[in-house]
Structure 1
Amino acid sequence: MPTRDDVLWFKTQFQPRIEPLLANSPLTVDFLAAIACQETGYVWSRLRARLPIDQVLALCVGDTLDDDKGRSAFPRNKAALLAAAHGDEMYTIARQALIDMSKEIPSFAAVAKRPNKFCHGFGMFQRDLQFFKSDPDYFLEKRYATFEGTLECCLEELGHAAKRLGFEGRALLTDMELAAVGIAYNTGSFTPKKGLRQGFFDGQKFYGEQLFDFLQMAHRVALPGNSPLLTPPRENTAVVPSPSPVIAQGTFLRVDTKEGMLRLRSEPKISDPPQANVVGHMPDGQPVRAFTGKARNGFREVETSLNGALLRGFASQKYLVADTGVTEIPIVTASEAPPVTGVVAVFMPSRPGHITKRSDPAGAHSLNEPNQPTRAGTSPDELRASLSAIIDWLAVDKAAHGRYQPHDGLTFCNIYCHDYCHLADVYLPRVWWTTRAILALTQGQSVEPLIGDTIAEMRANDLFRWLRDFGPTFGWRQTGTLTKLQQTVNQGAIGLIVARRKEDGRSGHIVAVVPESAVESARRDAMGEVTAPLQSQAGATNFRYGKGRANWWNGMEFAESAFWVHA
């Protein structure tokens, strides 16, 4: 599996040769590095340190065929190749390529001993032998063994894939759109509803999922003297993309309700029920920027950034006023480390030797069982695996784990999310300072945590307000869409959906959004947008993995909701 060091080698060797060919193209060096990692990284990452580069490139072959396992594309087998013009020459090259590669990659030695086996993928970017009939010289002249030769064909095929997806003429593609191009490069097509779960499946991950991971890794690597697109994360944490900037270029406006939050809608009308098309809630005084100068049905299309979340939609014109004092929309970023002075993290104190267990009744203490799992790793695969282990260990649906089981009208979504975050080494308070304690802490005074005096338990409604008021200081930031939320979580980050109840005495709700796997996945619409992320919750119903009630956070019982992520 290629690493960041392998990506650095790729960029050092090839970036100067790639960049001139990408002028006026939405494709990037990072994307091509990801394609190379996905297609032949298992070869060149092992050989680059001990062989000359021309030999490494020549050995970037793979994907074997023989007589007993055919395929639909040409050549279906050895006989089909031999029947083609110059097929005997091509078979000799393809067979010898397998033998030569197997001498350097021992795992292919057994395959190479089978006399009818031969390669059908050639070059660092793996041009398939199905193109032999239309472009025999690429293979017969071994142009695949040169970087320029394999790159030229790769860029041509990626261009065709982008055109098929309707991206022709685009100056910029998102990472998800680039992954879609890569999937079409691998399979010939892309189905938006399937998201990244397309292309070759190795038993654990699809081609698209692995490619997306490699793309994120490439973003964290830069040549000396340059800055990477994404800052490499600390160990045991994930990459969270920087907040998206506001791109609207219209008039600066300000929310002016004098009543409460202003709903931002996905279309210029009030839905039935009224919460159904709400995509965000903007506080009184929030600056926004218009896309156009005209209202539609009494709504203006606007864009803003709220706690790091890019929100775009339609807001009622009558609650927007021009504000010439605003020149930009501030972008909130999350702190890389929690505060160590002032208003710091607080936990419910325990008596010496006391162990808080999952089997105990719900309480204010944090779990401290022996050998409880943690989030660990430096790659998305490792982080996802450790989060899965946390979910399985918490086993929220297990009746013996009384800490999470609903009873007497009480539910414990807040405690479950606290435990999930706590084991992942992310601070989401189970208890928090009282107002009097916060005032003392901000004045530099020392405050002892005393339940009922200086600290109080946190319910879901309290957590909604805490994330808004203190979340960015402790590494949290909002994100604007379910698709962004799921994509970030899939890299091993922590995600939450939290909704505040209208009636403060009644319970709000909070769930963890968790990484997808080969078994569990989010729900997507026909365009590939996530409509129901993969969730894990305690509540009236407890489940380790599920999609929950559709758009539950927009229920009429809730005043507002938000999506949050943490590295």
Structure 2
Amino acid sequence: MEKYIAPATSLPLSDNTIQNSLIIKADLLPDPESQLDSMEMKEKPIADSSIPFRDLTNSTTKKESIARLINKLNVKNNIRYQRTVEDTYCNVYSYDYCYFNKVYLPTVWWTPEALKKILEGQEVEAIFEETVDRIYSSAIHDWFLEWGASFGWKRMFTVDDIQNEVNNNGGIGIICAKRKQKGLSGHIVPVVPETDVNKAYRENGIVVYPLQSQAGKLNYNYFAKARKDWWNNELYSSHVFYYHE
């Protein structure tokens, strides 16, 4: 039996907790070609009115609608999230999950030139491969530390805390890990509310492996113990846990 690495805590990297009122979302518009049954336009929101958004009425409706969303996105089977020879799509799935949960997570982000103009108070339109480019999981790790607070994200430090917040409040949890080797893929995974059937893995009442949903080399609608504490893998230089109401 494999041993888990304890405690399952996030590394103490410095994060910017001061919100910047000038920074804005780098959002592209939904595209008719961006669909669950297509590999096209992954950088844009899905244009599908049948996909449910999170119901923000109360914690119960939030959790129930998250379960419906996970079922609808069906990351295990839908073409949009299937790995290719070159790529996996953890960032695309995490973006879609957050988008329909009405929480901002970037799938594209401002170029350095565009960001400079925005922080100077200039208006900048999000234009793909001109003012914005794709952002991948290792860079999203750094984005959380620099910009997460400006978009309502709160840093957490244990998987037990993040699972409890998600369970109690119907919010959005994220684990994001950065690769040691520059240019190689990190990983990003939503932490999701437990259901009657799908549970986090606990020891002595403490969450060791939270309930997650992911695209990657293997896609899971739900998993906990299957990938252990993957964020502690020696491939990664650091990891962060974040939560959003």
Q: What TM-score does the superposition give when structure 2 sets the normalisation length?
A: 0.91
Partner of 2:57: 378
1:295-374 pair list within 5 angstroms: 332=17, 342-349=22-29, 354-361=32-39, 363-374=42-53
Equivalent pair of 2:46/2:96 in contact (CA under 8 Å): yes
Equivalent pair of 2:109/2:135 in contact (CA under 8 Å): yes
Partner of 1:280: 10
Secondary structure in 2 matching 1:281: coil
Secondary structure in 2 matching 1:345: coil
Partner of 2:123: 446
Task: Find the aligned partners of 2:74 and 2:10 in 1 and give their Cα distance.
Answer: 32
Equivalent pair of 2:160/2:206 in contact (CA under 8 Å): yes
Q: 1:359 to 1:379 in 2, by over 3 A?
A: same
Partner of 1:540: 217
Task: Find the aligned partners of 2:229 and 2:64 in 1 and give their Cα distance.
Answer: 27
Q: 1:392 to 1:278 in 2, by over 3 A?
A: closer
Partner of 1:493: 171
Secondary structure in 1 matching 2:205: coil
Partner of 1:422: 99
Task: Find the aligned partners of 2:6 and 2:62 in 1 and give their Cα distance.
Answer: 34
- 1:140-195: CA deviation from partner (whole Å, max 9, x where unpaired): xxxxxxxxxxxxxxxxxxxxxxxxxxxxxxxxxxxxxxxxxxxxxxxxxxxxxxxx
Secondary structure in 2 matching 1:414: helix
Secondary structure in 1 matching 2:176: strand
* Structure 2: segments with no counterpart, 5+ residues: none
Secondary structure in 1 matching 2:227: coil
Equivalent pair of 1:366/1:430 in contact (CA under 8 Å): no
Q: 1:423 to 1:350 in 2, by over 3 A?
A: closer
- 2:237 maps to 1:562: no
CA deviation after TM superposition for structure 1 residue 417, in Å = 0.5
- 1:334-377: CA deviation from partner (whole Å, max 9, x where unpaired): x6xxx7x63200222467xx342111105211112123201004
Task: Find the aligned partners of 1:371 and 1:467 in 2 and give their Cα distance.
Answer: 30
Task: Find the aligned partners of 1:378 and 1:361 in 2 and give their Cα distance.
Answer: 33
- 2:81 maps to 1:404: yes
Q: 1:350 to 1:534 in 2, by over 3 A?
A: closer
Please tell me the residue identity of whatever aligns with 1:367. I
Please tell me the residue identity of whatever aligns with 1:384. K
Task: Find the aligned partners of 2:76 and 2:132 in 1 and give their Cα distance.
Answer: 29
Secondary structure in 2 matching 1:370: coil
Match of 2:183 among 486, 505, 508: 505
Task: Find the aligned partners of 2:35 and 2:29 in 1 and give their Cα distance.
Answer: 15
Secondary structure in 2 matching 1:348: coil
Equivalent pair of 1:349/1:449 in contact (CA under 8 Å): no
Task: Find the aligned partners of 1:350 and 1:564 in 2 and give their Cα distance.
Answer: 26
- 2:144 maps to 1:467: yes
CA deviation after TM superposition for structure 1 residue 502, in Å = 0.7
CA deviation after TM superposition for structure 1 residue 388, in Å = 0.3
Equivalent pair of 1:440/1:446 in contact (CA under 8 Å): yes
Q: 1:345 to 1:415 in 2, by over 3 A?
A: same
Equivalent pair of 1:522/1:530 in contact (CA under 8 Å): yes
Q: 1:484 to 1:282 in 2, by over 3 A?
A: closer
CA deviation after TM superposition for structure 1 residue 563, in Å = 0.8
Q: 1:515 to 1:349 in 2, by over 3 A?
A: closer
Partner of 1:434: 111
Task: Find the aligned partners of 1:562 and 1:350 in 2 and give their Cα distance.
Answer: 29
Secondary structure in 1 matching 2:133: strand
Equivalent pair of 2:23/2:150 in contact (CA under 8 Å): no
Task: Find the aligned partners of 2:33 and 2:39 in 1 and give their Cα distance.
Answer: 13
Please tell me the residue identity of whatever aligns with 1:512. P
Match of 1:553 among 225, 231, 238: 231
Task: Find the aligned partners of 1:529 and 1:523 in 2 and give their Cα distance.
Answer: 8
Secondary structure in 2 matching 1:419: helix
Please tell me the residue identity of whatever aligns with 2:75. V
- 1:255-300: CA deviation from partner (whole Å, max 9, x where unpaired): xxxxxxxxxxxxxxxxx99x876733234xx6xxxxxxxxxxxxxx
Task: Find the aligned partners of 2:101 and 2:9 in 1 and give their Cα distance.
Answer: 28
Secondary structure in 2 matching 1:280: coil
Task: Find the aligned partners of 1:475 and 1:486 in 2 and give their Cα distance.
Answer: 18
Secondary structure in 2 matching 1:545: strand
Please tell me the residue identity of whatever aligns with 2:214. Q
Task: Find the aligned partners of 2:30 and 2:101 in 1 and give their Cα distance.
Answer: 21
Task: Find the aligned partners of 1:482 and 1:450 in 2 and give their Cα distance.
Answer: 36
Aligned CA-pair RMSD? 2.2
Q: What TM-score does the superposition give when structure 1 sets the normalisation length?
A: 0.40
Equivalent pair of 2:8/2:208 in contact (CA under 8 Å): no
Partner of 1:528: 205
Query: Which of the pair has the greater relative contact order for Cα pairs under 8 Å at 6+ separation?
Result: 2
Q: 1:454 to 1:395 in 2, by over 3 A?
A: same
Secondary structure in 2 matching 1:279: coil
Secondary structure in 1 matching 2:9: strand
Task: Find the aligned partners of 1:560 and 1:276 in 2 and give their Cα distance.
Answer: 15
Partner of 1:413: 90
Q: 1:518 to 1:350 in 2, by over 3 A?
A: closer
Equivalent pair of 2:30/2:45 in contact (CA under 8 Å): no
- The number of residues matched between the two structures is 240
Task: Find the aligned partners of 1:410 and 1:559 in 2 and give their Cα distance.
Answer: 20
